[in-house]
Amino acid sequence: MMENLSLSEIKKNAYNSINQDGLAEIALGFMLLWLSVFLYLHVFKGEDVVVFLILPAILIGPFLQKMRKKFTYPRVGYANLVTPRRTKLVMFVLIIALALGIFAAVNYVKIDFHADIFYFAPLVIGLFLASAQAYRYKRYQTKRYFIYFLAGLISTITVYFFPMRGLLRVMIIFSSLGIFLIPIGLITFNKFNKNFPLQEYSDNKDEQ
């Protein structure tokens, strides 16, 4: 019964309903490929393309919303789930703590910046991407998020078996996950369109 559904259960159902379209995977996959390409141009070709590295973070949200307004919401509806203020505060505190931790490590701990930071950066970035999918799986109980978690974990561990520059490891993680996510997103999107076709309404007046 509707009375027995908790708010968290309603949010989970709404989230899963919207995210079964595969568009988030497609957008994230292209964003990761974008980052890997421009990291390559900046690091190995010396191109001044740093500004392009922040574009995906700016464009991915509006792009995803535009696509969902066109394809997803007409099929499964729309629910505006507001992120609680407490959650936003926790995220803000974590970001500040991470920034302060990096600042302290660079300025007060005796480390070789290029050797240590760039060696561990791919590990931190890869585990962050993997843990984000693990969190989504735990919260929303969708199996494909667990698959994404395994893919992120495997790609992160694998790059450390080969001697290469730290940023090259980051690019390989980004590109491998992007290549992995885009086909899955396209398959999921195609399945979503078949399972939830748009209803066609005819004008009875025109038929008479």
145-164 in b/e burial notation, b at 16+ Cβ within 10 A?
beebbebbbebbeebeeeee
SS3 (DSSP) at 5: coil
Q: What is the DSSP string of 38-64?
A: HHHHHHHS----HHHHSHHHHHHHHHH
Number of other residues whose CB lies within 10 A of the CB of residue 41:
15
Distances in Å between the Cα of 165 and the Cα atoms of 89, 152, 171 are: 36, 19, 10
Distances in Å between the Cα of 79 and the Cα atoms of 15, 16, 83, 116 are: 9, 11, 12, 45
Residue 94: what pLDDT?
A: 61
Residue 39: what pLDDT?
A: 76
Residue 189: what pLDDT?
A: 92
Per-residue pLDDT of the chain (208 residues; tens, 9 = 90+): 445 556 667 667 777 777 788 898 999 899 889 888 887 887 677 766 666 767 777 788 888 889 988 888 888 877 665 555 665 566 566 656 655 554 554 455 444 445 556 677 777 778 888 888 888 888 778 888 899 999 989 998 898 888 877 778 888 888 999 999 999 999 999 999 998 888 765 555 444 4
Residue 182: what pLDDT?
A: 94
Q: How far is 159 from 172, CA to CA, in rounded Å?
A: 8
Q: Is 124 exposed, middle or buried (0-12, 13-18, 19+ CB in 10 A)?
A: middle
Q: Give CA angle at 89 (85, 90), nearest 5°.
A: 120
Residue 179: what pLDDT?
A: 93
Q: How far is 126 from 142, CA to CA, in rounded Å?
A: 21
Residue 190: what pLDDT?
A: 93
Q: How far is 54 from 172, CA to CA, in rounded Å?
A: 19
With tokens 């993997």, the residue in question is 130
**166-195 vs 143-158: helix axis angle to the nearest 10?**
160
Residue 104: what pLDDT?
A: 53
Give the single-character DSSP code of 2.
G
- Amino acid at position 112, single letter: D
